[in-house]
Amino acid sequence: MSKQKAPLENLKVIRDELKERNWAVDAFLFQYKKQEYVVLVKVYSDREKKESTYAIVKLEFIKKRHKNENFCTYADLYKIHIPDMKSFREFFGIEYKENLGDVIQQFTQYFSTFIPNQLMANKETSLKNSITEYLNKTDSESSTGIYCIGVKRNGIKKDGTSGKRSPENNQKAALLKPELFNKLMDDTTISFCFSEDPTRENTDEDILLRWAERNNNL
């Protein structure tokens, strides 16, 4: 007899694919009570403390047409954890019921039907924008912005090893500057630099030339 699949198994599949690519976040659409949401699936970093030993991903629900309204939580393989039931009910428009445990279970089961079973390459604009906005906020190796201005060598850490490109910077470069990223992706000690100013953006050729000059590769 085959083992029954955990309700949120696909979140683990997405997480594992993100970690394999050294990426930080994925997004998909979720509809509940006629309201559409963008769901961000976030990977825990190695230095991040989990709310639970069994937590697999962090989740952020964002109302699609009201980006300033969001609800953050985390999930394990079997359920979405709700730290504050009142906020949860108000955000999703759920009426109060005596047995709120059943409500969470039903919500989790319904939510599970929307989770993709793999990372989807072709995403609609709202999902791409949500991912980019998240990466802009969390990429500590580069200033905010979508215009690539160059690359830099990461410094040496206290233990004497070279600093590695973060998942956020890695994914941001892969999404916004794919051809340049493909040429430099194997050197994980390089990070990509971005700006909010479009006039500062450089072509792939200019960035590669300047990088070669700095490293005496000409």
Domain ranges in the chain are 9-112, 139-214
Q: Looking at residue 85, what is its pLDDT?
A: 87
3-state DSSP assignment of residue 125 = helix
Q: Looking at residue 118, what is its pLDDT?
A: 92
**Residue carrying the six token digits 């990509």:** 192
The H-or-E segment that residue 178 falls in is helix 178-184
Amino acid at 177: K
Q: Looking at residue 3, what is its pLDDT?
A: 63
- Averages of pLDDT over runs of 10 residues in the chain (218 residues) are 78 97 96 94 89 92 88 94 89 80 87 94 89 89 84 85 90 95 94 94 95 75
Q: Looking at residue 1, what is its pLDDT?
A: 45
Report, in this order, helix, strand and coil percent for the chain, each rounded to 5. Answer: 35, 25, 40
- Spatial strand order of the sheet with 66-75 comes to 25-32, 35-42, 57-63, 66-75, 80-81
Q: What is the pTM of this model?
A: 0.89
